[in-house]
Amino acid sequence: MPRGDNPNGVSFCLRLPDFLPYIGSGLPGSRGDPIRVFGNTHGLKASQVRQLERLTRRHLPPERLVTQEIARELSGLTHEIGRQVGVLVDRRGTVTHVMVGDARSIELPDWGRMRAGLGRLRGLRCLHTHVDDEPLTRDDLSDLAALRLDAMVAIETRRDGLPGLARVASLRPGVANGREGAIDLMPPAPPAELDLDFREWIAALEEELARQSRTRRVGDGERAILVSIGPGRPGPFPRAVGNGAASGAHAAGATELALQVEELTELARTAGVEVVDVVTQQRGRPDPRTLLGAGKLEDLVVRAFQHDVDLVIFDQDLSPVQARNLTERLDLRVIDRTQLILDIFAQHARTRDGKLQVELAQLRYLLPRLAQQQDRSLSRLAGGIGGRGPGEQKLEIDRRRVRERVARLDRELVHLRRERESRRKRRSRRELPVLSIVGYTNAGKSTLLGALTDTEVHVADAMFATLDPTSRRLRFPHEREVIVTDTVGFIRDLPPELVAAFRATLEEISDASLLLHVVDASAPDYERRIAAVHEVLRQIGMEATPELLVFNQIDRLEPEAAAAIAARHGGVPVSALRRHGLTELVARADAMLRETLAERPPTPALAQGG
Ligand SMILES: Nc1nc2c(ncn2[C@@H]2O[C@H](COP(=O)(O)OP(=O)(O)OP(=O)(O)O)[C@@H](O)[C@H]2O)c(=O)[nH]1
Ligand SMILES: [Mg+2]
């Protein structure tokens, strides 16, 4: 029950403030400076404020987690002022911060700018009062994880003002499922009876955490948690190939979310990231400040600690403000899907053109975010996935230099563009029709180019394996020569930055008389992917170019299913890998090409394209 003189109720808890400005001078190690009392001292008597300030001079024996003396002082104050009181204590036993709250909350110093301790923990513990015999709250536990405290101690304030039971929570190394598994709770005991040697206890905990990190790091790539927010409302159910009808609209949103997560996992894998956990949320309106709701964010914080991850990857594009807030709250590198794709592009770009385009897109994406980042969070962008430029160099993160570099890259790209134009003009003088292979990434476009032209083309089971356009000549029926080009693949929700960056590459497509739209027919959501490709074609003004749908990878389907899909969409079923269906494909393409180029077909039998 609430205290009688406290009409606001019992929900005393420590809350991490929403990015308070740093207001104190009491950083650990700055002994001698006055430590300000954080939080709400409004309405307190001068003597009470002095009592709070006296707490800043307290010192615990280093082997004690909490002492009866400090517990008595804290609970006595809480009893008197009806507000929660807390201190942060470092490993030497020195009080580094004093906080006072009100009936509902207490504010902690700005953590974003405080250096974490040597290990994974911050080297500070929080001792604070609860007004009753209340267990540790969810907020207590999430602050423990978010701030990576050594321990969170809640001390009961008895009605006589003396300390009752102390409840202690600490982070547990290793991976367990769910929040409960991530946190150790000691049996409640009066502060005087908590007999553990704090120094030994914390050393063992740090050692265990370090051991865990060491065993993981050997030869591993970066470790990440993926976060995806799905549609709150049911979306279109992706037709499962050979799988009968969709099973009701209810699961549709969840299915769509699952497919999104699968694709993001695939992107992460291509970028060399080890995905250790996935956090999803079905939500109608994302939070404008943090994208995720408060509960999910707390969950993410705990899991990030548990898995000891290097970064968190969001499926949704983050605004600069969201990126900053999340970086601060998670105290980790945070990137979004666009940055992940750009990172893959950076690793796969081969030509000078490609490299310049990628670097320019990366820097353009970074600029507004650099304005949002400060001190330590800025350095988070300097390396690792999301911070790598083309050719393994780190991305520049000095704003002035980024602007200069953007201007230089712009000039260079204009120059390259002119060269490319004259090259294309020469080609069109020779009047060879161009067939452009387009399609979703990893559909088998490059495999098809290789199969059609019987040449070696770089193929990989990876997203965006192809970045720079490749052109090959191909002899068509009736002694006609054509040029077949293979370019960068598309993806759903291709960010406008990427479309702009790849204008040069996509210009190659704009010469096409015919598009060979390669579809991985074995993908359960192939129709969605077709739509995504059409959307990109629309963005680059190619929606009117004739298109032949090529249903690839039919070797992975039942023959009837493959035939049905191709028939339904008026496309050609092929297996580029097994070189099945290529004759039919060439015949259809040839017929469509002749129709497009307004030629009269020499034999009516071939004029079946449509
Ligand atoms: N089973 C099967 N696998 C195929 C077929 N065609 C391509 N693949 C495989 O699909 C993967 C991607 O092939 P790519 O040709 O690189 O695909 P892409 O569309 O060029 O991909 P990006 O350039 O990355 O956008 C490779 O592992 C290929 O071996 C096919 O007909 N059947
Ligand atoms: Mg390719």
Q: Exposure of 200 by Cβ count < 10 A (0-12 exposed, 13-18 middle, 19+ buried)?
A: exposed
Q: How many CB atoms lie within 10 A of CB 134?
A: 16
Beta carbons of 336 and 386 less than 8 angstroms apart: no
CA of 415 relative to ligand 2 center, distance in Å: 27
Residue to substitute in 447, 461, 463 for testing ligand 1 pocket (most ligand atoms within 8 angstroms of CB): 447
Nearest Cα residue to atom 16 of ligand 1: 459
List all residues whose CB is within 6 A of at least one atom of ligand 1.
439, 441-447, 459-466, 489, 552-553, 555-556, 575-577
Q: Which long-range contacts (CB under 8 A, 24 or more apart) does 593-597 make?
A: 593/433, 593/435, 593/476, 593/482, 593/513, 593/514, 595/546, 596/513, 596/514, 596/546, 597/433, 597/513
Give me the percent of the chain exceeding a pLDDT of 70.
80
Q: Which residue has the higher pLDDT, 557 or 119?
A: 557
- Smallest CA-to-CA distance from 149 within 302, 376, 312 is with 302
Q: What is the rounded distance in angstroms from the CA atom of residue 256 to the CA atom of residue 478?
A: 46
pLDDT for position 66: 96
- Mean pLDDT to the nearest integer, 375-386: 60
pLDDT at 13: 34
Q: Quote the ligand 2 centre to 439 CA distance (angstroms).
A: 10
Residue carrying structure tokens 């980790």: 332
Six-digit token pair at 541? 């003004």
pLDDT at 532 over 60: yes
DSSP 8-state secondary structure symbol assigned to residue 171? E
Supply the pLDDT for residue 90: 92
Burial call 267-285: b when 16+ CB within 10 Å, e when fewer: bbebbebebbbbbbbeeee
Please state the rounded mean pLDDT for residues 474-486: 87
> Strand pairing of 163-171 and 183-185?
antiparallel
In this prediction, residue 215 has a pLDDT band, given cuts at 50, 70 and 90, of low
Distance of CA 529 to the CA centre of its chain: 22
Bridge partners for 170 per DSSP: 184
> Residue 456 burial (CB < 10 Å; 0-12/13-18/19+)?
exposed
- Strand 95-100 to strand 183-185: parallel, antiparallel, or no bridges (unpaired)? unpaired
Across-strand partners of 90?
124
Q: What is the mean pLDDT of residues 479-488?
A: 88
Residue closest to 1 by CA, chosen among 152, 186, 116, 131: 131
pLDDT band at 177 (very low <50, low <70, confident <90, very high): very low
User: Where do runs of H (alpha helix) occur along 466-581?
Assistant: 496-501, 503-510, 526-539, 559-569
Nearest by Cα to 90 from 62, 112, 111: 62
Q: Ranked by mean pLDDT, which of 225-239, 251-265, 554-568 comes out on top? A: 554-568
CA of 530 to the centre of ligand 1 (A): 16
Rounded CA-CA distance 10/64 in Å is 29
418-441 mean pLDDT: 83
* Banded model confidence at residue 77, pLDDT cuts 50, 70, 90: very high
Q: What is the mean pLDDT of residues 492-519?
A: 83
Q: What pLDDT is recorded for position 1?
A: 34
Alpha-carbon 446 to chain mean position: 29
- Per the CB < 8 A criterion, the answer to whether 223 and 307 are in contact is yes
Give the contacts of 609 (CB within 8 A, at least 6 positions apart): 548, 588, 589, 591, 592, 595
Query: Which secondary-structure segment (H or E) carries 345?
Result: helix 337-348
What is 99-151 written as a DSSP string?
Answer: EEB-SS-BBPP-GGGSPP-SSSS-SEEEEEEESSSPPPPHHHHHHHHHTT-S-
> For residue 548, which of 593, 490, 508 has the smallest C-alpha distance?
593
Phi-psi region of 304 (alpha: psi -120 to 50; beta: other; left: phi over 0): alpha
* pLDDT at site 157: 93
| Residue to mutate (ligand 1; options 577, 579, 585; most atoms within 8 A of CB) | 577
Ligand 2: distance of its center to the CA of 470 in Å? 9
Q: Which of the two residues, 284 and 473, has the higher pLDDT score?
A: 473
Evaluate whether 346 touches 270 at the Cβ level (below 8 Å).
Answer: no
Q: What is the pLDDT of residues 219-254, one digit of tens each?
A: 567 899 999 998 754 334 333 333 334 445 446 777
Element (H, E) at 348: helix 337-348
Average pLDDT of the chain to the nearest whole number: 81
Question: Which residues line ion ligand 2, judged by CB < 5 Å?
Answer: 445-446, 465-466
Q: What pLDDT is recorded for position 238?
A: 39
Nearest ligand, CA 445? 1
pLDDT at 197: 93
Q: Are 149 and 124 in contact (CB under 8 A)?
A: yes
Q: Which residue has the tokens 């050719």?
A: 391
Is the Cβ–Cβ distance between 431 and 511 less than 8 Å?
Answer: no
Residues 283 and 6: their CA atoms lie apart, in Å, by: 36
Crossing angle, helix 352-372 and helix 503-510, to 10 degrees? Answer: 130
Closest ligand (CA of 580) = 1
CA of 466 to the centre of ligand 1 (A): 11
- Which of 266, 459, 518, 574 should be mutated for ligand 1, with most atoms under 8 A from CB? 459
Tell me what the mean pLDDT of segment 43-59 comes to: 91
